[in-house]
Every structure is written in structure tokens, then in C-alpha cells.
């Protein structure tokens, strides 16, 4: 980031935020193709200033690539239905009041360096639709690859249409943060730091349960979090009201430890809700609630710290509120909760991804009453690793640019048990089984118990090597697939006579270790042998499943 002009930016900004913005009706529209934002001929009524609404909606691309301060009124990208426009900021400090990206059309802002700063009281950034009349379907994309961006109030993705954030570096700041208001919001983050300065962080809000119900849209929030840091000021609320949500965490640091010092109670503190459903009680028909919430945690590379409570669907209104544990190895990221974890209205789904568990493997999924000291220290190290960031927006990068954590809880416990568990996508070797412990050390622990049994030839994975497995082999002979429990000495990725031999050698074995049947082992028929010969000759590529 270029820093030599930041003091000028700060002085300009501070002198302005004490005033109430006066929104003018004058508007200047981009008429250029790809060109310099500061060139007058690229605008219908000259370069926009603090008394002008700037609209980039003609399909062109405006570029800001010099160290300068650009003071605007409203900034609108893709104002009308069917319109498009792009703004690239790579070096300037842009100070609009309200920002609308993809209001009704398709709009994009990309920040490489410099500032996009609308730090004015009550002014917001809307990405993907901004029209409460219903039916709006704007498409907005906000790319932050460096520099800094700040909203004076809301930062909303998908108010009515679809809004996407692609965040790879730099720093962002907002107050109330919404991923999917009435439309669809998508938050993709692999780097950078988002520091929320007030309000809740809402994924799939859906609007208030009153007249907002008449506004059309998917009401869906999606967050893909692979790196970087997010610090939440108050509640982190999946399904804040009647929306749906899906969060995928495989890296980075999520710190629900912000400045909730004035709101440390259950209602608005540093809580993580998987299906909040706030204010739903005034909805005459609870079927208006969108449905499901999925919090997927993959592997062990992330850090998740919750200052107060973890709650699954506390109002008991959603179709499902699910923690998906995707196991990739011997390490897995736990949800560290400073106080209580109330999981009674939640579900657990376990999946395997590239790892075959063995007996004795164990993973902590949720830790209640956790000491968060080491977790927030690890997150602070992630912030440092992101490089020089002006988190205070004071124009100077120094020791003050750190996250401020508020950790009040000192004890807590696991409340209830998951109402349902699903291991269908986590098959274990025969003889092993999954076990969940809710009682030890105020934690939810997932373990693998038992003794592995070799059931080679159990091609339908039912714990028996019998005639049903012969049928599976016969129906897939020649297919380019791998059968379950193929054993050794077979051709990988193909169903051949070697698989028949494995089945024949193990016929009659089971999890109990005894013989299942005295039936004669069937030999391959003449037809099967003929087919096998054709397969070997390349005449038949594969045999379809019956």
C-alpha cells in the first residue's frame, strides 16, 4: 500500500465526518470505455466531486491508479437493469458516502492498493442489489486484493440480488455485516483481515418478520473461509432471522471476541449461533423460515474462538442446524467456546476426506469453558503474517494496528447432546466404529474404537462376504471403478477376475469372524468369462450397473 498520502486522507476524512452529508441530485455518468477516472472527458458532466452522484453503468471501466484523494457523494456501479460497470482502485484514496455495486445490473469494484473509505455516519456499502421494492436482481462483485476499505455502517452482500466478496489481502472494516439479506451473499476469503467495529455479523439474515417478508430473494448466506482473519464485534449469527446459511472453514482465524463489552448477555454478546431465528415469534407462519444451516469445519488448519456461547437453533424453528466435521487427518479444528455450548437442537454429520481412521483416533469437536488465550494469540499472529495493515485507519502503520479482544467468560459446559448423528459419509474399516463422548472435560469428543477386521471381498460393505458381494462383482465386471474392500493383489480402478479371486478366498467371513454359509461358491459362468475376454480385448469399455 502507498502510505505517503495517507495523512492527507485522514485529515480530509476527519474534517468531513463531523458534517451531515448532503446528498445532491446532480449526477455524472461514466461515458468512457477503459480509462482514467480523473479525466473529465470520460464523464457526462465532468469528474465527480463531493456534490455529485457518480454512476459507472455503461459497460466501461474507470481506473484510479495515482496517489490522490477523490471525494465523492454516492458511488453507483451498474445502476439500471441490464447495465454493467467496473471501478479499479490501485493507488488512490476514494471517499464516497454510500456505495452501491450492482444495484440493478452487473457491477464490480476491485481494490489493489489505496483506500475505499465511506466512513460517514449511517452510510453503507451494498454489493448485489439495493432496492426494497422487491424483484431486484443486481449482481455485484467486490474484490479486495490489498489496500483498505471501510464502511461507516452496513456492509451487505446480496441485499436483493447476488453479492460476492473475494478477499485475498489488505484490510476491511464494517459495522453491521450481512451475507445474504434478501438475496444471496457469498463471502470468499483466503487472506486479509476483516475487523468488525460494531453490530452483528449475519449470514443469511432474511429480513425482519414483518413487511420484509414480501421482498423476494433467496435469503441465503454462504461463507468460504480458507485463510486470513475475521474478528466479530457481537454475535456471529447464521440464520439471523429467517434466512439460510452455509459456512465452510478450512483455514484462517475466526475470532468472535470483539468489542461486545456493553452487550455481554445472552442476547447480543460474543455468541456463535447456528440458526439464530431472531424475532421469528412475530411471524404468523413459521414456514416462512428458510430452513437449513450448515457449519462445515474441514481439517485442522483453522482457529475458532467464541467469546461466550455456542447455540444451535435456540428457538427450535429451523429444519436443521448441523455441524459438519470433515476429517482429513489426525488433527481437527475444535470450536473453542468461552462459556456454554448448547447443542441440543443441533445435528452432527461426519465425513472423511482422504483419511482412513484407525482405532484410537480422537478429535475434540467442541470445547466449552475454554481458555481462549492461546487461540487469540494464534489469531493475532495470523494478523501479523498478513503484513503491514492500517487497522486503525489513522494513516500510520504502527503498533496500534492490532485486534482488541474482549474475553469475559471463565467457565462453561456442554448442554445437551446432538439430536441426530450421521456417519453415512464416514465409513470405517470393518470392526471399527464411531463413538461420541459428551461428558469428559466439558467437551464433545469424536473417537474411533474397536479392532479392525479384514473383510476383503465385502463389496457391498455390509459386514459379510457372501453371495450378495458376488452379485456386486458380477454386475460391475469390466467397470473402471474401485470396489469397497478390494484387498490386495487387484488392479486399482478396475473390476476384474482378481476381484473375484479375493471374494472367493474370503467367502463366508463376517464381522463376527465365523462362517456364514455352507453354500457352494459360485464359479464365473461361461458368459462372464466371455465378457471378461472381450473386456481384455478392449471391445467392451465397461459394464453398467444393473
Are 393 and 477 members of one domain? no
The grid coordinates of residue 206 equal 432474511
Number of domain units in the chain: 2
CA distances from 271 to 88, 429, 463 (A): 36, 38, 43
pLDDT of residue 237: 96
Query: Of the residues 415, 432, 457, which one is the last residue of a structural domain?
Result: 415
Does residue 211 sit within a domain?
A: yes
Are 331 and 395 members of one domain? yes
E runs forming strands in 57-97:
58-64, 69-71, 75-77, 84-95
Are 358 and 239 members of one domain? yes
Does residue 439 sit within a domain?
A: no
220 - beta bridge partners? 184, 244
pLDDT of residue 512: 66
pLDDT of residue 286: 52
Are 354 and 478 members of one domain? no
Does residue 449 sit within a domain?
A: no
Does residue 33 sit within a domain?
A: no
Query: Of the residues 375, 391, 415, which one is the last residue of a structural domain?
Result: 415
Are 383 and 485 members of one domain? no
- Do residues 19 and 4 lie in contact, with contact meaning Cβ atoms separated by under 8 Å? no
Are 151 and 226 members of one domain? yes
The grid coordinates of residue 350 equal 461426519
pLDDT of residue 2: 41
- Domain of residue 190: give its range: 124-415
Closest to 108 measured CA to CA, from 71, 77, 74, 70: 77
Are 259 and 404 members of one domain? yes
Residue 355: Cβ-neighbour burial (10 angstroms; 0-12, 13-18, 19+): middle
Buried b (16+ CB within 10 A) or exposed e, 454-489: ebbbbbbeeebbbeebbebbbebbbbeeebbbbbee
Are 219 and 298 members of one domain? yes
Closest to 449 measured CA to CA, from 357, 353, 364, 511: 357
Does residue 496 sit within a domain?
A: yes
pLDDT of residue 231: 97
Does residue 472 sit within a domain?
A: yes
E runs forming strands in 125-176:
125-127, 139-144, 148-151, 155-157, 162-167, 171-174
Does residue 60 sit within a domain?
A: no
CA distances from 388 to 6, 63, 75, 326 (A): 14, 24, 28, 33
Are 478 and 335 members of one domain? no
Closest to 196 measured CA to CA, from 483, 445, 404: 404
Are 227 and 136 members of one domain? yes
What value does the CA radius of gyration of the chain take, rounded to a whole number of Å?
Answer: 28
pLDDT of residue 454: 81
Q: What does pLDDT average to in each consecutive run of 10 residues of the chain (546 residues)?
A: 36 34 70 96 94 95 89 92 96 90 96 89 88 71 95 93 97 95 96 94 87 79 98 95 95 90 54 90 55 95 96 92 98 97 98 95 97 96 93 85 84 96 92 94 96 88 91 94 88 92 90 56 65 48 42
Are 331 and 199 members of one domain? yes
pLDDT of residue 526: 54
Query: Of the residues 415, 438, 453, which one is the last residue of a structural domain?
Result: 415
3-state secondary structure of 434: strand
Does residue 350 sit within a domain?
A: yes
Are 156 and 234 members of one domain? yes
Amino acid at each position: 500500500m502507498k502510505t505517503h498520502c495517507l495523512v492527507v486522507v485522514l485529515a480530509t476524512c476527519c474534517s468531513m465526518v463531523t458534517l451531515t452529508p448532503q446528498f445532491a441530485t446532480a449526477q455524472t455518468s461514466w461515458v468512457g470505455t477503459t480509462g482514467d477516472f480523473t479525466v473529465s472527458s470520460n464523464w457526462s458532466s465532468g469528474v465527480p466531486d463531493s456534490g455529485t452522484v457518480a454512476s459507472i453503468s455503461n459497460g466501461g471501466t474507470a481506473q484510479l491508479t495515482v496517489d490522490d484523494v477523490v471525494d465523492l457523494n454516492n458511488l453507483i456501479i451498474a445502476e439500471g437493469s441490464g447495465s454493467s460497470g467496473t471501478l479499479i482502485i490501485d493507488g488512490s484514496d476514494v471517499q464516497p458516502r454510500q456505495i452501491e455495486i450492482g444495484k440493478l445490473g452487473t457491477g464490480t469494484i476491485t481494490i489493489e492498493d489505496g483506500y475505499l473509505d465511506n466512513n460517514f455516519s449511517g452510510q453503507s456499502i451494498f454489493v448485489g442489489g439495493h432496492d426494497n421494492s422487491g424483484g431486484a436482481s443486481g449482481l455485484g462483485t467486490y474484490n479486495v486484493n490489498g489496500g483498505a476499505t471501510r464502511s461507516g455502517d452496513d456492509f451487505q452482500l446480496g441485499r436483493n440480488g447476488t453479492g460476492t466478496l473475494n478477499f485475498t489481502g489488505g484490510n476491511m472494516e464494517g459495522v453491521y455485516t450481512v451475507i445474504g439479506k434478501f438475496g444471496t451473499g457469498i463471502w470468499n476469503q483466503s487472506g486479509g483481515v476483516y475487523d468488525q467495529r460494531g453490530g452483528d455479523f449475519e449470514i443469511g439474515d432474511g429480513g425482519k418478520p414483518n413487511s420484509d417478508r414480501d421482498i423476494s430473494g433467496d435469503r441465503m448466506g454462504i461463507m468460504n473461509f480458507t485463510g486470513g482473519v475475521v474478528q466479530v464485534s457481537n454475535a456471529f449469527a447464521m440464520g439471523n432471522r429467517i434466512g439460510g446459511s452455509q459456512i465452510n472453514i478450512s483455514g484462517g482465524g475466526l475470532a468472535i471476541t470483539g468489542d461486545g463489552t456493553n452487550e455481554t448477555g445472552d442476547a447480543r454478546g460474543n455468541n456463535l449461533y447456528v440458526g439464530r431465528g431472531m424475532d421469528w415469534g412475530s411471524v404468523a407462519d413459521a414456514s416462512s423460515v428458510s430452513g437449513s444451516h450448515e457449519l462445515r469445519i474441514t481439517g485442522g488448519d483453522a482457529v475458532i474462538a467464541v467469546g461466550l456461547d455456542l447455540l444451535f437453533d435456540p428457538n427450535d424453528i429451523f429444519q436443521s442446524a448441523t455441524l459438519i466435521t470433515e476429517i482429513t487427518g489426525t488433527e481437527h479444528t475444535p470450536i473453542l467456546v468461552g462459556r456454554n455450548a448448547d447443542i441440543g437442537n443441533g445435528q452432527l454429520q461426519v465425513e472423511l476426506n482422504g483419511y482412513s481412521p484407525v482405532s484410537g483416533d480422537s478429535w475434540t469437536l467442541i470445547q466449552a469453558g475454554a481458555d481462549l488465550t492461546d487461540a487469540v494469540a494464534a489469531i493475532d499472529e495470523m494478523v501479523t503474517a498478513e503484513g503491514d495493515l492500517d487497522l486503525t485507519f489513522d494513516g500510520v502503520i504502527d503498533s496500534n494496528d492490532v485486534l482488541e479482544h474482549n474475553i469475559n467468560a471463565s467457565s462453561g459446559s456442554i448442554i445437551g447432546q446432538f439430536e441426530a448423528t450421521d456417519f453415512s459419509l464416514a465409513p470405517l474399516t470393518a470392526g471399527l466404529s464411531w463413538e461420541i463422548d459428551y461428558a469428559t472435560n466439558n467437551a464433545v469428543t469424536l473417537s474411533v474404537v474397536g479392532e479392525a477386521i479384514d473383510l476383503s471381498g465385502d463389496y457391498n460393505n455390509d459386514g459379510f462376504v457372501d453371495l450378495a458381494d458376488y452379485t456386486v462383482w458380477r454386475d460391475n465386471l469390466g467397470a473402471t471403478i474401485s470396489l469397497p474392500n478390494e484387498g490386495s493383489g487387484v488392479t486399482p480402478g478396475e473390476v476384474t477376475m482378481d476381484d473375484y479371486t479375493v471374494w472367493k478366498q474370503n467367502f463366508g467371513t463376517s464381522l463376527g469372524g465365523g462362517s456364514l454359509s455352507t453354500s457352494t461358491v459360485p464359479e464365473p459362468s461361461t458368459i462372464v468369462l466371455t465378457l471378461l475376454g472381450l473386456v481384455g480385448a478392449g471391445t467392451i469399455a465397461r459394464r453398467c450397473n444393473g
